[in-house]
Amino acid sequence: MRSLYALLIGALLLSNALPSSAQTATPLPSPAPTPLASAFTAPGDWVQLPRGFTLTEIKNLWRGPRGGGPAGGGVFAQAVLPLPSGIVSALLAQLRTFMASSKSKQKFTMTTASPKICGSAASVLTVHVGGANPAFIETTTLSHRGLTYATVYVRTSSKPDSAIESALRSACPLPNGGLPDAAPPRGWSAVQKGLDFELGGIWLGNAPMQVMMMLKARGMPDLMSASQMAPTTTSGTQRSVKYKATVQKVKFCGTPGLLATAQFIVPPGFGMTYSVAAAQGMDGTFVLSYFHPSSYTDAGAQQSMRTLCAGAPLPSPSPGSTPLPFP
């Protein structure tokens, strides 16, 4: 589920990265990157899962020249997934089988290759989507120390951009398991400067189904501005599942943030609660979640969520100025 969560975020960003006439504002550069801090104090009797078990990261999201050309107005993104490459390969094989048996009028052709990247054999699957708006979707997976390093390169031209291919082959895993920060090649630009997602950790409580998860990010839009559109309270029923959610504005170590709680009741009466604390400061954007049965709430976990800290508050924008750097 943690990998799916990360991939969904990446997919949303990629969909927004494609050329659009609505994208007119250019944000100012982000502050110089610093290591993402330990943003909260975990409950003393909880256990954190090893980093290699939870390491998930999405970064280096770029868009190609809007005018097309050799880059084909493409999109490029990289991710680290805490999954063996065999599982990822099996999923891609299932996708190939599904597309081959599809009765859709959309024409698909697929090619595979096994180049050497960073000294190891990688797997490259290229899907050509035909039709009035053709596209080439190239997925590269590389296995290193049990983790899978995945790259997605989408373009409209059959010939890949040599600069992108070079960047892909030089992005070797770091000793800590992450991916290096890379600068977009000439003609390409970052979807948003400094954009980086990382699953900071997963903690298990001393009772069944007690889980806390930390998501760290840089380059995110203004959290508090986005919260203005969210209702403070909502409730209802969806397919026999009753739900109720509340959102409140709080301060975490002097930085404005949000604390949201959602309760779900599944017939005949089993309830689950999902709480989220989110803060945005100069150290970045931090989202701490706590998932547990509604029948038992760990007091230590609740207190732990209140210790969330994203560093010093962001500077306030001056009237008529361009948007401030995103953390």
* Average pLDDT along the chain, 327 residues, taken 10 residues at a time: 39 37 35 52 92 83 73 81 77 71 72 90 87 84 89 88 89 89 88 76 92 87 69 88 92 90 92 94 91 94 93 70 43
Q: What pLDDT is attached to residue 223? A: 73
Residue partners of 97: CB distance under 8 A and separation at least 6: none
Cα(2)–Cα(79) distance, integer angstroms: 13
- pLDDT tens digit string along 119-171? 988 989 888 888 777 888 899 999 888 889 999 999 888 888 888 989 888 88
The CATH-assigned architecture of domain 53-196 is 3-Layer(aba) Sandwich (3.40)
Q: What is the pLDDT of residue 30?
A: 36
Q: Where are the domains of the chain?
A: 53-196, 205-305
Half-sphere exposure in the Cβ direction for 226 (13 Å, CA): 9
Question: SS3 helix, strand, coil % of the chain, rounded to 5?
Answer: 20, 40, 45
Is the torsion defined by CA of 213, 218, 221, 222 positive or negative? positive
pLDDT, tens only, 200-228: 899 999 889 999 999 988 777 777 776 66
pLDDT for residue 224? 72
